[in-house]
Amino acid sequence: MEIQTTTKLSLHPDVKAKADSKKWFYTDTVKEHFFNPRNLLMNDSEGEEYSKNADGIGMVGSPACGDAMKIWIKVDKKNDKITECKFQTFGCASAISSTSMLTVMASENGGMKIDDALKLKPQNIMARLGGLPNRKFHCSVLGDKALRSAINDYFRRSEQTTRIIIEGARIVDPDTKTTDKDIEEAVLDGALTIEDVQKKLKIGIGNKAVIPAVEELIRFYKEKYFG
């Protein structure tokens, strides 16, 4: 009787579907980009050196709380294209593979137009990777957010503030379109004083009235992440 029960169970459609499912496997493309990531800056020294000539730097997440992503871009200003895209990540294999693929997509074939790069979605990255396990889909979200953050940084540096894209954040300085999220990311990147944040984001330089709010946010994020 026990043998018959086991046999019936093994043939149950739900059990068979789970046994046959490959949804938790990584594709060969994902594994290739994990073991041989493209455009990866290997350590802080490489990041600091590359930052000297980068046109935009973006960061999302926090190593203290989970996955974090940092992206550097160089831009062909005449043609409004991203010519180089580098990254570092504190994350899993899916995060590394997704961002590696993203940097390839942004810089291949002579570079992607900035307006097209702003439209990149996790689904586009997933398609090039051949898919990710369902539980790892969120890992592909970090890269495109970090890329948009880097593009916004480029817009600030090049004084193209009208092109800055605001996503789910509160604007603190209307002149520079700097948000509370930008300040959070600046603090996570080591800007712990008002002078450091102003150097990075140009916030409050033309509009001194916003400085108290900026200082309050700096204190809040320092306490949140560093105690």
Q: Which residues are catalytic?
A: 65, 139
DSSP symbols for the chain: -HHHHHHHHHT-HHHHHHHH--TTSPPHHHHHHHHS-TTB--SHHHHHHHHTT-SEEEEEE-TTTS-EEEEEEEEETTTTEEEEEEEEEES-HHHHHHHHHHHHHHHSTT-EEHHHHTT--HHHHHHHHT---GGGTTHHHHHHHHHHHHHHHHHHHTT-GGGPPP-S--EEETTTTEEHHHHHHHHHTT--SHHHHHHHH-TTSS-GGGHHHHHHHHHHHHHHHH-
Contact 30, 97 (CB under 8 A): yes
User: What is the C-alpha separation between 105 and 109, in angstroms, rounded?
Assistant: 9
Specify which residues 84 forms β-bridges with: 74
